[in-house]
Amino acid sequence: MFEPEHIPAAIALGATCIAVYTDMRWRIIPNRLNYPLIGLGILFYLLLGIYRADPLVLTSGAIGAAIAFGIGYAMWLTGGWAGGDVKLFTALGALLPMFSPPHASAPYSSSYPLFPLTILFNSIVAAIPVLLVYVAICRVRGRGALYERVKITELKEGMIPAETIYEKDGKIGRWASRFGRPGWDRAYTNPSRAAGLTRYQVGVLKRLVRKRRLKNDIKIKRGVPFAPALGAGVLIAVLYGDLYWKFVLVVTGA
Helix (H) / strand (E) containing 203? helix 199-210
Cβ-proximal residues to 119 (8 Å cutoff; 6+ apart), any chain:
89, 92, 96, 230, 233, 234, 237
Burial-class residue 155 by CB neighbours within 10 Å (0-12, 13-18, 19+). buried
* Helix axes of 83-95 and 55-77: crossing angle, nearest 10 degrees: 160
Cβ-proximal residues to 165 (8 Å cutoff; 6+ apart), any chain:
172, 173, 174, 187, 188, 189, 205, 214, 218
* pLDDT > 70 fraction of the chain, expressed in percent and rounded: 86
pLDDT in tens, 75-131: 887 767 878 899 999 999 999 987 776 656 655 655 555 788 888 888 888 888 777
**CB of 155 closer than 8 Å to CB of 135:** no
- The CATH class for the domain spanning 6-139+225-252 reads mainly alpha
The gap from C-alpha 188 to its chain's centroid, in whole angstroms, comes to 25
> What mean pLDDT, rounded, does the chain reach?
85
Report the amino acid identity of residue 231: G
Q: What is the pTM of this model?
A: 0.71
Q: Tell me: pLDDT of 205 over 80.
A: yes
pLDDT computed for residue 194 by the predictor? 61
> Which sequence spans correspond to the domains of the chain?
6-139+225-252, 148-221
Cβ-proximal residues to 24 (8 Å cutoff; 6+ apart), any chain:
225, 227, 228
pLDDT in tens, 157-190: 878 888 999 999 999 999 887 666 778 889 999 8
244: closest CA among 131, 79, 63, 115?
A: 115
